[in-house]
Amino acid sequence: MIQRKNKKEKISKKRIEKLIRRLLIELGENPDKEGLVGTPARIAEMYQEIFAGYRMNDDELDVSFVNEETDAIVVKDIRFYSMCEHHMLPFYGKIQIVYIPSGKVFDISKLNHVVERYARRLQIQERLTRQIADAVIAGMGVKGISVIIEAKHLCMKIRGVRNDSSVITECNRGVMEQKEFREHVVPLIYTSAEPKLRSVV
């Protein structure tokens, strides 16, 4: 099994360029023709961005808390883009997060960071849902969290069944594993009131 020694190390653009060039030849293309000449370099550059999650540090998830009593918090429509690990094609959509803080408040932009960290790598939707829930429970001291992801998969749209349907996955952790909590809080996700972030009394 080939594995890179240090996962935090920047991916090698030069090596990716070579691989993409090789792939273009295998596909029957001439990688030196106009239009394709810069493609391996562009893909290598793009991969650095869309697979950046592998090299995001744990300490970037550190949160500073302010003590304050709050009830459930809903963060709606966090947009994400990821790459399916079965086909290396994009899947993308929106994430809804409901969590119950434990008397501590953290900067909500940290949730975006958690999403980016796990979305910007090869993924499957079920694992992405679970990893976000687990990271917030472990790192941010919340009492419970529900993560709901609705996504479209290009590998379903452009190949195989060619179906345009969405896939919805859900993961509940902490007190949100109890049905009565979920029944009380999760419906708030589906209200359309602005602002998108709201506190529940």
CB 44 within 8 A of CB 173: no
Among 13, 87, 113, 157, the residue binding Zn ion under the rule CB under 5 A is 87
Distance of CA 23 to the CA centre of its chain: 27
113 is catalytic: no
Is 84 a residue that touches Zn ion (CB under 5 A)?
yes
**DSSP readout, 11-61?**
P-HHHHHHHHHHHHHHTT--TTSTTTTTHHHHHHHHHHHHTGGGG--GGGG
Catalytic residue from among 17, 84, 116, 171 = 84
Q: Which is nearer to Zn ion, 13 or 87 (CB)?
A: 87
- Choices 66-74, 113-121, 134-142, 155-163 (CB under 5 A): range interacting with Zn ion: 155-163
Q: Under the criterion CB under 5 A, does residue 86 sit at the interface with Zn ion?
A: yes
Answer yes or no: 171 catalytic: no
Nearest to Zn ion of 13, 157 (CB atom): 157
The single residue among 56, 63, 122, 155 that binds Zn ion, judged by CB under 5 A, is 155
Q: Any catalytic annotation for residue 85?
A: yes
Structure tokens at 192: 């359309």
Phi, psi of 111 (to 5 degrees): -65, -40
Whose Cβ is closer to Zn ion: residue 166's or residue 178's?
166
3-state DSSP call for residue 156?
A: helix
DSSP run (H or E) holding 178:
none
Active site residue 123: no
Q: Which is nearer to Zn ion, 122 or 189 (CB)?
A: 122
Those residues with Cβ within 8 angstroms of residue 113's Cβ, 6 or more apart along the chain or in another chain: 56, 60, 61
Q: How far is the CB of 88 from Zn ion (least distance, A)?
A: 8
Active site residues: 84-87, 125, 153, 155
Question: Which residues of this protein are in contact with Zn ion, per CB under 5 A?
Answer: 84, 86-87, 155
